[in-house]
Structure 1
């Protein structure tokens, strides 16, 4: 079995830990320089993963935006864009979403029941995505094993909160890059970076800080979740 990919969680939040507000428009937390930093991370990745709820809510194209970075990927023998990956338990993803209609390959990981629902819609003659059933539940470990077999060595995870929480709770994240924007959302119903869960080591475990820097008015914090010390 191939080694599992290096898993990088990439997130931008407000100071109070929100990844969005409750308005119909997406809240832009990053500035132009930070968006460019994220584009570089995408260009360096073999695959980019988001949850099914993020696909439905934001309907992102999830592409490398810089022509120069796309050209560099092609020159290195890679696809122009990383593999796009999503995870859904119920399989409630329609074929009209922009996610399927741009970029290169797409893979959906779901339950066996979700796969039965999605394959007629996305796979086969539709040719929009490969659908992989992982059993009664979506286990992130076997998902990473399958991505490794596909040649994915570096996986970038862009959310949402439930997905980030699962990677952290299962001890599967190698790095967190967290951009903190200088604003407060203050809404109890706003989506959060991390949800309540049982995390490895609990509240006594301190992650190793890899670096802290500023990107315009955003502060970028980098942590290694697997390298924390138990207090």
Structure 2
């Protein structure tokens, strides 16, 4: 039986729960010290996942930036960079984005109807795997488990976070809460409306709370509800 990876959701949010504002420029929510913490979490992960919408909007490289952390990964018998994963139902990907041209191995998880479209667009830049006629997170995690991914870091966007939380598939949540308010209904949120496990009264276990300069970092265990 395939062992699914440990799933860690990671996000920087405003006090009112937004990932960004509605302007074309990216809102800087985190700070240098917290970016370094995120870099450490990336270095400890076997794979990093973002949705295709986040890739198109933010155009991230999604790397381990510290040379020392990359060297430690190599010394531990791992690739310098974690596997980079994206998910798409539409297959609308852009082969020129940074995601495809930095780091090591890349993987696209998609649906049957989009497989050939993605393979044609990327032309060998990534492995492309379907998880069925409809996107199935259970099958997606099974595929990652078969590839040896023991720890999966999910960096967004909000739709991905919502789906994994609603399906009770997130093992841990990392939130860096910035002292900002966005207040724009059209802006992206960390989580959207969904039928979450346990209803409105199930309280998640808090694993850690600490300040990192001007942000507050909180770790939750979503499956440990009371």
C-alpha separation in 2, matches of 1:164 and 1:50: 10
C-alpha separation in 2, matches of 1:180 and 1:114: 36
State yes or no: 1:100 paired with 2:100: yes
C-alpha separation in 1, matches of 2:113 and 2:61: 26
State yes or no: 1:131 paired with 2:128: yes
Matches within 5 A, 1:189-208: 189-208=186-205
C-alpha separation in 1, matches of 2:110 and 2:13: 27
SS, match of residue 37 in structure 2: helix
State yes or no: 1:154 paired with 2:151: yes
Q: TM-score, normalised by structure 1?
A: 0.96
List per-residue Cα deviations over 1:18-61 (Å, max 9, x = no partner). 00001111011001000000000000000000001001111111
Aligned-pair distance for 1:2? 2.5
Q: Who is 1:70 aligned against?
A: 70
Aligned-pair distance for 1:133? 1.0
Aligned length: 226
Q: Who is 2:25 aligned against?
A: 25
Aligned-pair distance for 1:95? 1.0
SS, match of residue 208 in structure 1: strand
Root-mean-square deviation over aligned CA pairs: 0.7
Structure 1 stretches of at least 4 aligned residues deviating more than 2 Å after TM superposition = none
C-alpha separation in 2, matches of 1:113 and 1:97: 23
Q: Who is 2:225 aligned against?
A: 228
Q: Who is 1:210 aligned against?
A: 207
Q: Who is 2:173 aligned against?
A: 176
Q: TM-score, normalised by structure 2?
A: 0.98
Give the gaps of 5 or more residues in structure 1: none
State yes or no: 1:55 paired with 2:55: yes
C-alpha separation in 2, matches of 1:59 and 1:149: 28
SS, match of residue 8 in structure 1: strand
C-alpha separation in 2, matches of 1:167 and 1:66: 29
C-alpha separation in 2, matches of 1:40 and 1:141: 27
Return 76-85 or 130-139, whichever deviates more.
130-139
Aligned-pair distance for 1:202? 1.0
State yes or no: 1:34 paired with 2:31: no
C-alpha separation in 2, matches of 1:6 and 1:87: 18
C-alpha separation in 1, matches of 2:124 and 2:133: 25
Q: Who is 1:82 aligned against?
A: 82
Aligned-pair distance for 1:120? 1.5
SS, match of residue 202 in structure 1: coil
